[in-house]
Structure 1
Amino acid sequence: MVDVAAITGVIEPEVKRLGYELVRVMMIGGVSDPTLQVMAERPDTRQLDLSDCEQLSRGLSDLLDRDDLIEGSYRLEVSSPGIDRPLTRPADYSDWAGHEARITLAAPRDGRKQFNGTLQGLDHDEVKLTDKEGIAHALPLSAIASAKLVLTDKLIQATAPLSTDGADTIQTVEEEI
């Protein structure tokens, strides 16, 4: 079993040293084809281009090889979180206030686990969200299993790249380790 928290603790300082912010670390795929997925972004643009992915991939590959945190072979995937990005850090809920999100809770609350609506921000440890019926919800951060932005025209406008150079290339770098 891979300890993703331990891997995150090791790679996050390197991601920051290289000038990026870590968004998410996740192990995906099966036993025969595991992939360590690392999502990061530039703090100033909240995006990554292909050269950023390459730089991160090289730096993280060296670090992961040195510390040998994952048994056996695996693939390293470094990518941008994308437009309909996961919300993984408390600040994400405030940073993306005004945009639509889909939040799934670990356990049902008021008879449901899924909440869709407009983020209103974060108040202490509660995510504020107003659904399409205008009902306000306060969801404890500790109860959230997953959350992500919903692709809308407003979100597309807010995340338009500062440069479209390379927009037609794949923004993921994968490497067999």
Structure 2
Amino acid sequence: MSKVTEVVAELVSPIVTDAGLELVDIEYVKEGRDWFLRVYIDKENGIDIEECGLISEKLSEKLDEIDPIPHNYFLEVSSPGAERPLKKDKDFERAIGKNVFIKTYEPIEGEKGFEGTLIEFNGEMIKVEVKIKTRKKIIEIPFEKVANARLAVTF
């Protein structure tokens, strides 16, 4: 995690917790000429625009006080969306039984991308049931080999 995201996490965590919400992720990225500070929040039944606005206002005040970012940037506070990232252990635990997409650093059984139902997560190993043509197969993925993971919407 970059220094900016660490500082922002310290500032926003109590604000989000006091509002009864969960901090899902923080991104600090450059896109073209512009810098973006993105804070993703959620709660069990989803969030609304008012909650995003409230967190944005309170965080903006804290950022103005401390001023940890030396240049102009855009602050965005939003929901992580339907395909929310899975980063923390509790994200994976909540996703058991749901459709996920997992990308690995190195191939497992000749593949680096897996989409299927998350069957099990124990902190060290992830089991995903994938469909290969007409049959189902369980793939075991060591947690340390996960490059990124997210919920996957199926149609």
Length-normalised TM-score, structure 2: 0.85
Q: 1:90-169 maps to which residues of 2 (within 5 A)?
A: 90-133=89-132, 134-152=136-154
Structure 2 unaligned segments of length 5 or more: list them. none
Aligned to 1:9: 10
Which deviations, in whole Å up to 9, do the C-alpha atoms of 1:6-61 show, x marking residues without a partner? 4323322322122210111112333621111111012xx34110110111101111
Structure 1 unaligned segments of length 5 or more: list them. 154-177
Mean Cα deviation higher: 116-125 or 105-114: 105-114
Please report how far the alpha carbon of residue 142 of structure 1 lies from its aligned counterpart in structure 2 after TM superposition: 2.6
CA RMSD in angstroms comes to 2.0
Aligned to 2:85: 86
**Share of identical aligned residues, percent?**
30
Moved over 4 A (4+): none
Please report how far the alpha carbon of residue 120 of structure 1 lies from its aligned counterpart in structure 2 after TM superposition: 1.1
Letter in 1 for 2:30: G
Which gives a bigger RCO, structure 1 or 2 (Cα 8 Å, sep 6+)?
1
Which deviations, in whole Å up to 9, do the C-alpha atoms of 1:103-136 show, x marking residues without a partner? 1123333333211111113113222211113221
Please report how far the alpha carbon of residue 5 of structure 1 lies from its aligned counterpart in structure 2 after TM superposition: 3.2
* Alignment length (residue pairs): 151
Letter in 2 for 1:141: F
Aligned to 1:37: 38
Mean Cα deviation higher: 11-20 or 92-101: 11-20
- Which is richer in strand? 2
Distance in 2 of aligned mates of 1:60 and 1:46 = 23
Aligned to 1:161: none
Mean Cα deviation higher: 51-60 or 2-11: 2-11
Aligned to 2:29: 28
Mean Cα deviation higher: 47-56 or 119-128: 119-128
CA contact (8 A) 1:94 1:120 kept: no
Mean Cα deviation higher: 47-56 or 60-69: 60-69
CA contact (8 A) 1:39 1:78 kept: yes
